[in-house]
Amino acid sequence: MIPEAFDYHVPKTLAEALRLLGQFGGEAKVLAGGHSLVPLMKLRLAAPKHVIDIGRIAELRYIREDNGKIQIGALATHFELESSEVLKKKCPLLPETAKEIGDVQVRNKGTLGGSLAHADPAADWPAAVLSLDGEIKASSTRGERWIPARDFIQGVFTTSLKPDEILTAVRVPALPLGGGDGYLKLHHPASGFAIVGVAVRMVLGAKGTVDQVSVGLTGVGPKAYRAGGVEKSLLGKPPSAKRIEEAAAQAAEGIEANSDLYASAEYRAHLARVYTRRALEKALERASPK
């Protein structure tokens, strides 16, 4: 299907893009890699009167470390995160997540910011950014603000971005001493999205107990979420195989699991438990006492 007619804008700077978005408000949509917006427009599920293509704004494409934090521009592609030497050393969860996304074409064009702003319930990045206690930068002509990842995704395809704001950066902590990361995913055979995806960061203390653990899940419910029950069951305790299995059993606790032609709600909840256990084991294997 052909999209409805629209005006196409190609700003060269972030300031110009923000000015256009402020001018057109709810009649405009921001285009980055195009994997989310373009299909919606072709299906007439989105019909913006103005499309603001930010894909050529160089200032939004970077990966850098600063004082133990990793900051990534919104236009960094999945492949750029997958292949980044900085991330492989400082935050390996992100490259591991990136390589699980779509196919080569998708990873070369799709962007971190575009994926997060779209807030697909089965997207990979929300689980990873949640598990890292990340922050998302929203910019407008009024200024900038950092939004905790926990508060950013509010529901199916819904975020806390305001109509005149653009997601411009993501900030996450580097892997601390004694830490291990892990991401595991069951791919939908047609779309490549996550039927279940689990991101884990685990940090062991000097005595081998769990000093820090965070578990983010995607694909299970209407939005990505942190598995608080799993985390609470492990925090401050030695991570034995039995304890990990018991903790992982709470992975879908309190969640109304999605159900579709491929996976029922019961099956998804089961997969959440299985993949959480495996992801915890993977992170533990990579962690070491401080």
Q: Does domain 7-53 have CATH number 3.30.465.10?
A: no
How do residues 121-163 score in pLDDT, each as one tens digit? Answer: 999 999 999 999 999 999 999 999 999 999 999 999 999 999 9
Contact between residue 126 and residue 194 where contact means Cβ atoms under 8 Å apart: no
- Give the residue from 121, 108, 143, 287 showing the smallest Cα distance to 213: 287
Kindly tell me if the per-residue pLDDT of 274 is higher than 70.
yes
Instruction: Using CB atoms within 10 Å of the CB of residue 178, give its burial: 0 to 12 exposed, 13 to 18 middle, 19+ buried.
Output: middle
pLDDT number for residue 290: 66
Residue 274: CB partners within 8 Å, gap ≥ 6? 248
Contact between residue 220 and residue 130 where contact means Cβ atoms under 8 Å apart: no
Helices then strands (H, E): number in the chain? 12, 14
Kindly tell me if the per-residue pLDDT of 23 is higher than 90.
yes
Q: What are the domain boundaries of the chain?
A: 7-53, 61-173, 179-286
The CATH class for the domain spanning 61-173 reads alpha beta
Give CA–CA dist 268/252, Å, rounded: 9
The reported pTM is 0.94
When mean pLDDT is compared across 13-22, 32-41, 71-80, 179-188, the lowest value belongs to 32-41
Under the banding of pLDDT at 50, 70 and 90, the label for residue 25 is confident
Q: What is the CATH number of domain 179-286?
A: 3.30.390.50
Which residue has 């007619």 as its token pair? 5
Under the banding of pLDDT at 50, 70 and 90, the label for residue 97 is very high
The percentage of residues in the chain with a pLDDT greater than 70, rounded to a whole number, is 100
